[in-house]
Amino acid sequence: MNQFSVKTGARFEMIDITDRMSAIVRESSIRSGICYVFVPHTTAAVTINENADPSVPRDILAELDKVVPLNDNYRHMEGNAAAHIKASMLGASETVFIENGVLVLGTWQSIFFCEFDGPRTRRVLVQIIKNES
């Protein structure tokens, strides 16, 4: 398993980690397989979405804030209940195919680390499984 750190600079943020993921795949020398990415945090997530237009991640964060506002009479006493809910909605993991030694992503797709309770230093875990066929 591989891992790397992500240092976030804001309470809410989406950080493109595609290049770091691609580097791990290249270093593995695996030509065909599956790449799993997992975020071991309860107030952060990982997702795949468009990165060609920087307004897309901003729009995602803005709409999540509408659905799950920062303050909404939550019972969780730490003050970060919204972060837990948003992380659960997006999820802690993604799976990406590897073909010809590269991640199989759509033309506009990138892999994003999603921070909902920053700024913090977070971990991202990556596991690559080689296709045996």
What's the one-letter identity of residue 38?
A: F
What's the one-letter identity of residue 113?
A: F
pLDDT at 132: 85
As a whole-number percent, the residues of the chain with pLDDT over 70 amount to 99
How confident is the prediction for the chain on average, in pLDDT? 96
> What tokens does 122 get?
């977070």
pTM for the predicted model, two decimal places: 0.95
Three-state SS for 78?
A: coil
Going by pLDDT thresholds of 50, 70 and 90, the confidence category of residue 24 is very high
What's the one-letter identity of residue 45?
A: A
Buried b (16+ CB within 10 A) or exposed e, 71-85: eeebeeeeebbbbbb
The domains located in the chain, with CATH, are 2-130 (2.60.120.460)
